[in-house]
């Protein structure tokens, strides 16, 4: 009956993904069935950790995060957990040897408990590596099915894509991060203030990440290519919306892509993929 419990665990991870991110959920449905469970398990784990440090401010966040990490370690050792999210994730960690990547991710989550400003490029890069790049690398491990040569070939591109996604999130969520969480991630802000000049510097940096990441997207195994390409297109378009938005607007509201435009991107991405035109 362990198999039934494992299946239910992956279903819980899928539910978490669909609840928290419609865009990523849609992208995951375009992955091959063989890789979807692993990606759902990864997203379910990182989302739970992220929610602890970002939204559970009415509770003892440090205690919750450390307990979550300790339970993860127990699940890893026992190869089972009665927490369905951890049960699914530990299996994926063992299968694809994600151990060091998870450690780096948790280190960045702990930084969110006490660090509110990133004043140097190195601090900024280190945080992004742990909070985003390693997540991209976890997913890449699943896509290449443990092929180390293929993984090492695509690793730099996966990291640049993870960085691009995270930086877009930082810019999109600027208002919530500053006002709600008291955090300022970009090291080039003047007195922790986003103006149009600084915004353009940030966008130029993100555009360079996307340009480099694309070289890897088109080299991904077929099992993961379409889903990742769709996520890439979503975030590229969101970046365009942020690029034309005045910095004052970004400071006041969260820029979004409407549902109709998301559908348009989905259809176009699928057609380009089928025509081998990505």
Across the range 99-104, mean pLDDT stands at 98
Q: Which range has the top average pLDDT, 109-118, 235-244, 252-261? A: 235-244
What's the pLDDT at 23?
85
What's the pLDDT at 141?
98
The pTM score is: 0.94
Q: What is the pLDDT of residues 141-164, one digit of tens each?
A: 999 998 999 999 999 999 999 999
Tell me how far CA of residue 65 lies from CA of 72, 171, 214, 219, in angstroms.
Answer: 10, 25, 34, 36
4 phi, psi to nearest 5 deg: -65, -40
148: which 2 tokens? 């180390």
Tell me how far CA of residue 57 lies from CA of 43, 54, 60, 112, 180, in angstroms.
Answer: 21, 7, 7, 12, 10
In the structure, what pLDDT confidence band is assigned to residue 188 with cuts at 50, 70 and 90?
confident
Q: Is the dihedral of CA 127, 129, 135, 136 positive or negative?
A: positive
In this predicted structure, the answer to whether residue 192 has a pLDDT above a threshold of 90 is no
In the structure, what pLDDT confidence band is assigned to residue 191 with cuts at 50, 70 and 90?
low
In this predicted structure, the answer to whether residue 113 has a pLDDT above a threshold of 80 is yes
In the structure, what pLDDT confidence band is assigned to residue 28 with cuts at 50, 70 and 90?
very high
Q: Which fold has domain 116-278?
A: Farnesyl Diphosphate Synthase (1.10.600)
In this predicted structure, the answer to whether residue 1 has a pLDDT above a threshold of 90 is no
Q: What is the pLDDT of residues 205-222, one digit of tens each?
A: 999 999 999 999 999 999
In this predicted structure, the answer to whether residue 33 has a pLDDT above a threshold of 70 is yes
What's the pLDDT at 189?
82
Q: 117 has which bridge partners?
A: 184
In the structure, what pLDDT confidence band is assigned to residue 237 with cuts at 50, 70 and 90?
very high
In the structure, what pLDDT confidence band is assigned to residue 22 with cuts at 50, 70 and 90?
confident
Mean pLDDT of all residues belonging to the chain: 95
Tell me how far CA of residue 204 lies from CA of 90, 157, 177, 197, in angstroms.
Answer: 38, 17, 21, 11
Could you tell me which residues come within 8 angstroms of residue 263 by beta carbon, excluding any fewer than 6 positions away? none
Better-scored residue on pLDDT, 73 or 22: 73
In this predicted structure, the answer to whether residue 134 has a pLDDT above a threshold of 70 is yes
What's the pLDDT at 146?
87
What's the pLDDT at 184?
87
In this predicted structure, the answer to whether residue 73 has a pLDDT above a threshold of 70 is yes
Better-scored residue on pLDDT, 175 or 1: 175
In the structure, what pLDDT confidence band is assigned to residue 119 with cuts at 50, 70 and 90?
confident
| 1-114: CATH number | 1.10.600.10
What's the pLDDT at 83?
98
Same fold flag, 1-114 and 116-278 = yes
Give domain limits for the chain.
1-114, 116-278
| d(C-alpha 170, C-alpha 227), whole Å | 22
Better-scored residue on pLDDT, 276 or 65: 65
């Amino acid at each position: 009956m362990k198999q039934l419990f494992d299946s239910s665990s992956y279903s819980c991870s899928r539910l978490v993904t669909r609840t928290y991110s419609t865009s990523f959920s849609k992208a995951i449905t375009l992955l091959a069935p063989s890789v979807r469970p692993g990606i759902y398990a990864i997203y379910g784990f990182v989302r739970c950790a992220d929610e602890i440090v970002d939204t559970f401010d009415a509770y003892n966040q440090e205690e919750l995060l450390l307990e979550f990490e300790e339970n993860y370690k127990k699940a890893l050792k026992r190869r089972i957990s009665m927490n369905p999210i951890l049960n699914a994730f530990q299996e994926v960690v063992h299968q694809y040897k994600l151990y060091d990547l998870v450690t780096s991710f948790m280190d960045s989550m702990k930084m969110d408990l006490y660090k509110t400003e990133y004043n140097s490029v190195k601090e900024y890069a280190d945080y992004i590596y742990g909070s985003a790049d390693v997540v991209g690398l976890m997913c890449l491990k699943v896509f290449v099915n443990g092929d180390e040569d293929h993984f090492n070939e695509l690793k730099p591109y996966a990291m640049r894509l993870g960085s691009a996604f995270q930086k877009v999130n930082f810019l999109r969520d600027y208002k919530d991060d500053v006002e709600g969480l008291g955090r300022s991630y970009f090291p080039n802000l003047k007195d922790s203030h986003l103006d149009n000049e600084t915004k353009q510097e940030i966008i130029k940096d993100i555009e360079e990440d996307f340009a480099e990441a694309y070289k890897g997207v088109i080299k991904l195994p077929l099992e993961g290519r379409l889903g990742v390409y769709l996520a890439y297109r979503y975030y590229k378009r969101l970046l365009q919306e942020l690029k034309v938005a005045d910095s004052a607007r970004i400071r006041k509201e969260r820029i979004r892509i409407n549902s109709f435009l998301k559908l348009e991107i989905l259809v176009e991405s699928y057609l380009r993929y089928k025509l081998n035109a990505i």
